[in-house]
Structure 1
């Protein structure tokens, strides 16, 4: 069995879920058109009329069926997480953790468990952009041998609120404002920050949302977290507290703010397209599953409440144990049937996994079922193919809208004698689910434990765990967001709140929005957690995307050698030219550009390379968009390389070209090469620079 250090991707052999879905896949190629009742259709171009120019006749049943279906094609979009994108995959366990849980898919390393994953934004509608500043949903449905298990999480480990009763208030505040339905998919407005300033439990989460974590470069490059504290139960009935983590093998990387704005215009489906293309190209995204496990007797050993969803367990205090790997290896066949109709639920668990008294989690156990009833048309949403478990379903829950199962027999109740009490409950030994027997003692009361009262220390921990670059990004995010708030009172209240998080942060933001920071009230961080900084992540050039700028007369030897080196490093390459017409190299070979300077933009790439060749560079210089392309990449801290005459395009873009070679420019991510015949060492330096993601020490000139 592969262990966690084995990076090889193998095609999974467990196809149970795909085989189940095959019964519902319909190929129309070469088939004759029919109605929904199977009647063959002769004419699908004209409605039935009383003469060629007469009125449409309502007895045209094909027209009515087709139009009625069209009128009802849309289902209510999700209230939150409306914009999402999904993919199929497989989960493989590295090692059994039977000492903690009896969940079979976490105890048997020989199993391959099918999964379906949906990534999403939270605040925006289905038609919003991928790259908005927002939390990202990270929901995984495991089709296990014991039934479906849904790990419903986000790309941030904490949340805005502590009790689910506040969830409608939070969502109402962050959604577009009622008078004008503005702004879309944005938290930069009065009602959201009014909520933040009056519900200070959100302070920690706000620090995450103002960081680069809210602007992921790719779904493939963001962490996932279960957010809540759950329970593991082993065969002996012993309980441990657990938090779930997904660690991307490509590391955790983000876009920069200016870049997200431009990407939204150039390609609002940027993250969707990135995931789809990666899977189509065989660059299967991989995420390792990690767990933080805590003994029951250690429940009260921290200076925070482990059931508080606005708090995290520092990884340096409670280590993350990597136990398995998820590989996404198949795109959907139909977005609506799979991604839109998939129904996740925190209450979908298997034996060995149970809940805690986290008040946010407890409320979600009710909310998910309630929303699926409305969105998917009734109680039978579990019978939709994408939601079906791979194990048989037997119960007495009958009828309702969109029922797909046909249950023969006389009885539909329990207990019964006519059918020998079938279907009969399973014993715990036979896999029957039994809730953990937790002693509960207390008065019925609408209150929150005093252990939830600290709203600032972990927010301060997050701030003080950031690098200087990340702190600067957080300050800029606050300045932009609060700069969009019209109410001076709200702006001041927000500064009052974050003065209690970090004095430096509050002062730097206050000075730009006309507010005043309070001194001497900031929380003292009890811990610094390097794991919170994205500067301490995995760096690799694999699956990154490079734009090679060329024109007629480009050095074919140079470009071919570079393309080969990039391909071997699993870096995607696109050729960009002045137009999309074929271009000719200096050896008379022809190259077909993928994009033109008009249709492409540097924000869609991770690095830029300018090829040499006198005629080629002159063509690029003749269009101002060539210099703009390079300039924008420079301002976004991306790797830029140029060879020979190509450095003239960098000069036109006001990119410093005083560097004399790869070794002298690596630190700033600007590489200048000399020759026309290619250089393996230069290509290697370029790839190493791409792996760094951004070059934050670059001095940006006006």
Structure 2
């Protein structure tokens, strides 16, 4: 679909008729009431009433850019994905950054995880890698996600975000301790989208031509260097320039200062998973680098801004279920829930034909489906048959799955994830705390204490503190003292 030249020719109605007067509506005589025959007036008002779509429930606040991914290492022994098939190969991408909790009009410079959603326009179809700027998350099972987000959003009675709700949930969900330690540390408020890392966060499957399976984690390391804001700096910036991160990204690309990331992966042979010391599919944990060292596989560059933020950034849709041959899901229970939830959200929010919009449609491949009709259907299929199998040359199945099957055993039921030798909700949070310098630890304690001090129920505050004490005794002791000092 070509972009129309809106600068040439006369102003027209949506049907293409020239507009004689765009300053005055038609009335019954000078000073009289407006006329229903004034189709320009009705068309403009009706369109204006409908020119917004529902904002995302989470990740509403965002900025996007186009760019390219370039392969820098041979990974064909791990995956048969064609866009990774040779060194030097380039694939066009679209990346949307976002905050999680804030609405569309919220400020950028806030303490919140950042979304890092990347669409690869590959020759085998679009591949979406929908991650964050943290390698872990607050929960490990998608059934808890709506409850978690409800605590981050506005309270149904007060209409405000309430510390009681936030810390009540985190205290009662100790698996959140690791991510909360990340969030309230120095990296909790990136200075810009360009100065932060990105992560696939989940564990995914790679499979090679021989059918060998590897579990993989993605890391996008910023080449601009990590830069963060203190809470005081963020508070000031959010008040002065709510659009700070969006503006920074757009202006950097406009001046040719294209941000780049070095792309790395950790790879685990499938046979290692069962006996690994942590559950490798637990989203609240990382794979320590000494166990599976990251290897560089490519470079990511952003070099083109969207021409229209609404059409491209707001209407962009990402789904973790958009895989290509050689890449697939893992048994990660958070990922399994997202495989449904993201596509469903966009079918509701943008529409059933959202994947046919220019920002979402495949660019190096062709979508050949039997889906028809619905809102904004453009008739692209013509008179072709809309069923399969058929005898009229329509698209048919390939008989080769995109990824390899995962063996399962046991009875159906509401099962917790299998426990491994060193699975614990607190060990990695403690490891993270002990990696920090004394100054970093103090800022972490101060950030947490300032937030927990706003809790109105002592038992909620104490429960939260105890989770950090279980991660590290010194961590809990310092935090308790800081909270007590603030609460009097």
Aligned equivalents of 2:67, 2:30: Cα separation in 1: 53
- Answer yes or no: is the 8 Å Cα contact 2:205–2:403 preserved in 1: no
Q: Could you give the per-residue CA deviations for residues 315-357 of structure 1, whole angstroms, max 9, x where no partner exists?
A: 2321111111011001110000000000000000100101111
Cα drift, residue 427 of structure 1: 4.7
1:578-593 matches, within 5 Å, as none
2:413 aligned to which of 445, 470, 473: 445
Partner of 1:663: none
Q: Could you give the per-residue CA deviations for residues 600-647 of structure 1, whole angstroms, max 9, x where no partner exists?
A: xxxxxxxxxxxxxxxxxxxxxxxxxxxxxxxxxxxxxxxxxxxxxxxx
Determine whether 1:483 maps to 2:461.
no
Aligned equivalents of 2:2, 2:139: Cα separation in 1: 41
Partner of 1:349: 323
1:325 aligned to which of 299, 303, 308: 299
Cα drift, residue 381 of structure 1: 0.8
**Aligned to 2:106, what secondary structure does the other structure show?**
coil
1:244-259 matches, within 5 Å, as 244-259=218-233
1:281 aligned to which of 255, 258, 262: 255
Q: What is the aligned-residue RMSD (CA, Å)?
A: 1.5
Partner of 1:416: 390
Aligned equivalents of 2:300, 2:378: Cα separation in 1: 31
Higher relative contact order (CA 8 A, sep 6+): 2
Aligned equivalents of 1:497, 1:450: Cα separation in 2: 22
Partner of 1:388: 361
- TM-score (norm: length of structure 2): 0.96
Cα drift, residue 32 of structure 1: 1.2
1:159-558 matches, within 5 Å, as 159-183=137-161, 189-377=163-351, 379-390=352-363, 391-409=365-383, 411-417=385-391, 419-420=392-393, 422-428=394-400, 433-451=401-419, 454-514=424-484
What are structure 2's unaligned runs of at least 5 residues? none
Aligned equivalents of 1:84, 1:463: Cα separation in 2: 30
- Answer yes or no: is the 8 Å Cα contact 2:186–2:440 preserved in 1: yes
**Aligned to 1:113, what secondary structure does the other structure show?**
strand
Determine whether 1:50 maps to 2:28.
yes
Instruction: Give every structure 1 segment of 4 or more consecutive aligned residues whose post-TM-superposition deviation is greater than 4 Å.
Output: none
2:111 aligned to which of 133, 136, 139: 133
Aligned equivalents of 2:384, 2:438: Cα separation in 1: 71
Aligned equivalents of 1:501, 1:338: Cα separation in 2: 43
Aligned equivalents of 2:245, 2:147: Cα separation in 1: 29
**Aligned to 1:514, what secondary structure does the other structure show?**
helix
Cα drift, residue 303 of structure 1: 2.2
Cα drift, residue 37 of structure 1: 0.7
- Answer yes or no: is the 8 Å Cα contact 1:204–1:455 preserved in 2: yes
Cα drift, residue 510 of structure 1: 1.3
Cα drift, residue 250 of structure 1: 1.2
- Answer yes or no: is the 8 Å Cα contact 1:24–1:385 preserved in 2: no
Cα drift, residue 30 of structure 1: 3.8
Aligned equivalents of 2:124, 2:450: Cα separation in 1: 48
- Answer yes or no: is the 8 Å Cα contact 2:323–2:402 preserved in 1: no
Aligned equivalents of 2:200, 2:362: Cα separation in 1: 21
**Aligned to 1:451, what secondary structure does the other structure show?**
coil
1:91-170 matches, within 5 Å, as 91-170=69-148
Aligned equivalents of 2:178, 2:416: Cα separation in 1: 18
Aligned equivalents of 1:265, 1:449: Cα separation in 2: 43
**Higher alpha-carbon Rg:** 1
**Aligned to 2:194, what secondary structure does the other structure show?**
helix
Aligned equivalents of 1:410, 1:172: Cα separation in 2: 45
1:39 aligned to which of 17, 40, 49: 17
**Aligned to 2:3, what secondary structure does the other structure show?**
coil
Q: Could you give the per-residue CA deviations for residues 85-129 of structure 1, whole angstroms, max 9, x where no partner exists?
A: 000101111122000000011112242100000000000001111
What are structure 1's unaligned runs of at least 5 residues? 1-22, 516-702
Q: Could you give the per-residue CA deviations for residues 507-539 of structure 1, whole angstroms, max 9, x where no partner exists?
A: 222123239xxxxxxxxxxxxxxxxxxxxxxxx
Over 3 Å counting, the alpha-carbon distance change for 1:31 and 1:488 in structure 2 is farther
Cα drift, residue 410 of structure 1: 5.4
Cα drift, residue 438 of structure 1: 2.2
**Aligned to 1:382, what secondary structure does the other structure show?**
helix
**Aligned to 2:470, what secondary structure does the other structure show?**
coil
Partner of 1:67: 45
- TM-score (norm: length of structure 1): 0.67
Aligned equivalents of 2:37, 2:305: Cα separation in 1: 41
Aligned equivalents of 1:189, 1:237: Cα separation in 2: 49
- Answer yes or no: is the 8 Å Cα contact 2:450–2:483 preserved in 1: no
Aligned equivalents of 1:450, 1:346: Cα separation in 2: 23
Aligned equivalents of 1:117, 1:450: Cα separation in 2: 34
Aligned equivalents of 1:77, 1:116: Cα separation in 2: 19
- Answer yes or no: is the 8 Å Cα contact 1:93–1:324 preserved in 2: yes
Moved more, 342-351 or 451-460: 451-460
Aligned equivalents of 1:281, 1:271: Cα separation in 2: 16
Aligned equivalents of 1:214, 1:513: Cα separation in 2: 20
Cα drift, residue 450 of structure 1: 4.5
Aligned equivalents of 2:300, 2:9: Cα separation in 1: 37
- Answer yes or no: is the 8 Å Cα contact 1:136–1:214 preserved in 2: no
